[in-house]
Amino acid sequence: MNRSTITRYLTRTFLMRVLSVLIALSALLQLLDLLDAASTVLERGLGGSGLIYYTMIRLPMVVERVVPLAVLIGSLSTLWTFASTNEIVAMRSVGMTPYQIMGALLPAALVVALAHFILADQVAPRAERSFVTWWAATELPSEAKKDDPVKPVWFRLGDDVVRIAAIADDGRTIEGLEMVSRDAQGRAIGLLSAARGEHRADGWHLTDVVRTRIGEPLTVTRQATTLWDVDLSPNNMVDLRKPTENISVHRLLRIVRGNWAGGESPAFYATRLHSTYAAPLASLVMLLLAAPVAHGMRRRGGAMGSLALGTVIGLVFLLSSGILSSMGQAGALPAVVAVWSPLIFFAAIGGAIMVYVEG
């Protein structure tokens, strides 16, 4: 048996295990989600086709979240099976070192990471936007809570802060506009308010406009109509009215650069941007954390102990990544530190354990 045959065998087994775990976890979470929403879907008269559409449109968002955990469980299962059946011994007998065995699995892990990135960057954001639009369009009048007031939308537009009382479903009409203009030091220098706004071919047309210049003296100017010269498309308004959790890299870059308005803080979007790049690399960390299961640990307490150790460390990695990411989004930590520090730290832990058990 040559090394190329072993590499193909390792790759095929690893990908099949990861895919099996991914399907199982996704099916379980999707089932729980569907059980919670099935009554609402049926009450809206959408029937069986509505249940199928709900399941399919929500599936990319569910799968995207469980990929790292599926890689961890799949890696542990694959390597534990190889170790328990002495296949690792057979591989080492043909001259493959433990590092070469893990290197043979690396291309497969990179494929999973690339697929995860495409899913998180392209598929999940589109699926969530389609779901939000469909879910809102099929809502029954009886589901709306009449006693709940309509919440205004707040967002940044460059250095300015904007408040809009109501945005139409298509994003082409707004009501209750207030925009506070600020200077480079963040001090308010002006206030623009309008009762209504409508998007036309040449931009936003505001009615019942009041402009206030803050200074000495205070100047107030009233206009019946005016053109609001801002780079805000109706699609941007729709995103502000009903924001989605999944955001593509292209959209995040536009928000960070100020070319697209967002309703959260700059720290939030900077952290999300780094997370989109870093999340697929978690699959490589998970493979590294599972590596000791294949060798070395069996001589120091059994394969079950190393299996449990890999599971615990992997779950702690996911937990710490989530906590630090939340701190980064809140502005408590720099985005780079919040996102990349757990990835680097646990990769170092996995590497150190692997070197230790081989030493």
DSSP secondary structure of 191-236: EEEEEEEEEETTEEEEEEEEEEE-SSS-EEEEEEEEEE-----HHH
Mean pLDDT of the chain: 87
Per-residue tokens: 26: 């996704």
Would 349 be classed as within a structural domain?
no
Q: Which of 351, 282, 345, 337 is nearest to 18 (CA)?
A: 282
The answer to whether the beta carbons of residues 188 and 169 sit under 8 Å apart is: no
Q: Calculate ∠ Cα 179-180-182, nearest 5°.
A: 140
Q: What is the tally of structural domains in the chain?
A: 1
pLDDT for 198 beyond 70: yes
Whether residue 183 is contained in a domain is answered as yes
DSSP class of 45: T
**Tens-digit pLDDT profile for residues 145-195:** 654 566 899 998 888 899 999 999 889 999 999 999 988 888 888 999 999
Task: For 83-99, write each residue's pLDDT tens digit.
Answer: 777 777 777 777 777 77
Within-domain flag for 184: yes
> Residue 149: in which H helix or E strand, if any?
none
Strand partners, 228: 204
Closest CA to 288 of 340, 357, 359: 357
Asked which of 48-52, 212-216, 277-281 is least confident by mean pLDDT, the reply is 212-216
In a domain, 215, yes or no: yes
At 299 the pLDDT is: 52
Parent domain of 161: 153-242
pLDDT at residue 3 greater than cutoff 80: no
Query: Is 135 inside a domain boundary?
Result: no
* Long-range Cβ pairs for the range 85-94 (8 Å, 24+): 88/294, 88/295, 90/1, 91/6, 92/295, 94/1, 94/2, 94/3, 94/6
Q: Is residue 119 part of a domain?
A: no
The DSSP output letter for 151 is P
Q: Please provide the DSSP assignment of 81-124 as one string.
A: HHHHTTHHHHHHHTT--HHHHHHHHHHHHHHHHHHHHHIIIIIH
What is the tens place of the pLDDT at every residue in 16-27?
999 999 999 999
Q: Distance between CA 330 and CA 268 in Å, rounded? A: 6
Q: What percent of the chain has pLDDT over 90?
A: 53
At residue 148, the pLDDT reads 53
Instruction: Please name every residue paired with 160 in a beta bridge, in sequence order, or none if there are none.
Output: 157
Residues of 210-238 as b/e, b for ≥16 C-beta within 10 angstroms?
A: ebbeeeeeeeeeeeeebebeeebebebbb
- For the entire predicted model, the pTM comes to 0.85
Would you put residue 2 in left (φ > 0), alpha (ψ -120 to 50) or beta? beta
CA distance 235 to 249: 17
**CA 39/CA 130 separation, integer angstroms:** 20
The C-alpha atoms of residue 228 and residue 164 are separated, in whole angstroms, by 14
- Side-chain-side CA neighbours of 102 within 13 Å: the count stands at 21
For 198-204, the CB contacts below 8 A with 24+ separation are 198/172, 198/173, 198/174, 199/171, 199/172, 199/173, 199/233, 199/234, 199/237, 202/227, 203/227, 203/228, 203/229, 203/230, 204/174, 204/228, 204/230, 204/232
Is residue 145 a part of any domain in this protein? no
Q: In this structure, what token pair is assigned to residue 226?
A: 């005016």
> Within a domain: residue 90?
no
